Amino acid sequence: MNSKFLWIAMGVVSIAAGLLALMNPLAATLTAEQLAGWSFLFIGVLQLIAAFRAPGWDGRLWAILLGLAFALLGFMLLAKPLAGIISLTILVASLFLVSGLFKVVMSFSLRGSGAFWLVLVSGAVSVALAVMIFANFPAAAATILGVLLAIELISSGMSMIALSGTRAAAD
């Protein structure tokens, strides 16, 4: 089995998972929220282990507090998934809004270059997505994370398939 086949297989599986997520965005949203919860919990536990195993005390208190914060966040997401979905949706919408505003402002420093319009449009799209999420809140919370997960899976799958040609040439 060559690497080109593996890249194509990974891409097809990723696209199929993305399409399944689009067919049931609520289930995908719950899955994304639970995945985030387990990830934060696992990262927090690893951070705590690393903090207690590190020699010396420089920064250990901060490492312990950070580990506890990650673990607590993960536990809360797992214990209260609906509240977690709402919190993550607010976070995603806020990130879209802030990154969009920064891109719009940054685009004006690129006037005259080919990147001006791309960065301006990208910023406007991010702001529009944030406004759409906030305008339809809390109903958007039920599906937006699942839709974003689906888009990411499909995009990643397409990238993997595209990379299969370059990976085969490199092998």
Kindly report, residue by residue over 2-39, the tens digit of the pLDDT. Answer: 788 888 999 999 999 999 999 999 999 999 999 999 99
With 0.85 as the threshold, say if the pTM is over it. no
For residues 143-157, give the mean pLDDT: 89
Residue 171, pLDDT score: 53
Range of the domain at 88: 3-170
Kindly report, residue by residue over 36-83, the tens digit of the pLDDT. Answer: 999 999 999 999 999 888 777 777 888 899 999 999 999 999 999 999
Q: How many domains does the chain have?
A: 1
140 alpha-carbon distance from chain centroid: 17
| pLDDT at 137 exceeding the cut of 70 | yes
Amino acid 64 reads I
Spatial separation of the C-alpha atoms in residues 35 and 100, rounded to whole Å: 26
Spatial separation of the C-alpha atoms in residues 15 and 159, rounded to whole Å: 10
Tokens of 130: 């944030």
Tokens of 16: 């199929």
Spatial separation of the C-alpha atoms in residues 29 and 26, rounded to whole Å: 5
CA–CA distances in Å: residue 60 to residues 40, 46, 106: 19, 14, 38
Residue 127, pLDDT score: 94
Question: What number of other Cβ atoms are within 10 A of residue 157's Cβ?
Answer: 21
Direct distance between the N- and C-terminal alpha carbons of the chain, in angstroms, rounded to an integer = 12
Mark out the alpha helices in 80-114 (DSSP H runs): 81-107
Q: What's the pLDDT band for 170 if we cut at 50, 70, 90?
A: low
Kindly report, residue by residue over 96-113, the tens digit of the pLDDT. Answer: 999 999 999 999 998 888
CA–CA distances in Å: residue 124 to residues 20, 70, 99, 139: 29, 32, 10, 23
Spatial separation of the C-alpha atoms in residues 150 and 82, rounded to whole Å: 19
C-alpha angle 159/161/162, rounded to 5°? 60
